[in-house]
Amino acid sequence: AQSVTQLDSQVPVFEEAPVELRCNYSSSVSVYLFWYVQYPNQGLQLLLKYLSGSTLVKGINGFEAEFNKSQTSFHLRKPSVHISDTAEYFCAVSRKTSYDKVIFGPGTSLSVIP
C-alpha cells in the first residue's frame, strides 16, 4: 500500500518570499508523484508530476519539485510567492501500474501574507 505524509498542515509566508512544502511518501512499488492545488470551493488542479527521468520537475505557476528516492521525498518549492498562491496543496502518489488511482496526503494550507 502507498501512503503520503505532508509534514506541515499550515504554512504562512510573506508575499515575494520563497516557500517549500514538504512531502514524504511510502510505497513498496514504483510510483508516480503529483502535486495538486485546490483553491477555495473548487476542484483539484494538477501543478506538476514526476513520472521518470530528471528528478527536478517544473510545473505551472512557477512551482517546481524535486524527487529524492533515497529520502522518499517530493518537496514543492517556489522562489517567490504571490497572494494568488494562497490555497490548499496536496501531494499524491499512484502506482505505476494503476496511475489513475491516486492516494493523497492530508494537505498543506499555504497562506500568503501581503
Partner 1 sequence: ETGVTQSPTHLIKTRGQQVTLRCSSQSGHNTVSWYQQALGQGPQFIFQYYREEENGRGNFPPRFSGLQFPNYSSELNVNALELDDSALYLCASSSTGTGNTEAFFGQGTRLTVV
Catalog residues that contact partner 1 under the rule CB under 8 A.
4, 32, 36, 42-46, 49, 51, 90, 92, 98-107
Inter-residue contact 40 to 104 (CB < 8 Å): no
Give me the least distance between CB of 55 and partner 1, in Å please: 17
Query: Residue 15 or residue 102: which is nearer to partner 1 going by CB?
Result: 102
- The nearer residue to partner 1, 40 or 114, going by C-beta atoms, is 40
Least Å from the CB of residue 8 to partner 1:
14
β-bridge mates for residue 12, sequence order: 111
- Is 61 within 8 Å of 15 (Cβ atoms)? no
- Helical (H) or strand (E) element with 14: strand 10-14
The residue (of 43 and 53) whose beta carbon lies closer to partner 1 is 43
Looking at residue 30, its amino acid is S
For residue 90, the minimal CB distance to partner 1 (Å) is: 5
Using the minimum distance from each CB to partner 1, give the nearer residue, 6 or 73.
6
Burial environment of residue 101 by CB neighbours within 10 A (0 to 12, 13 to 18, 19 or more) = exposed
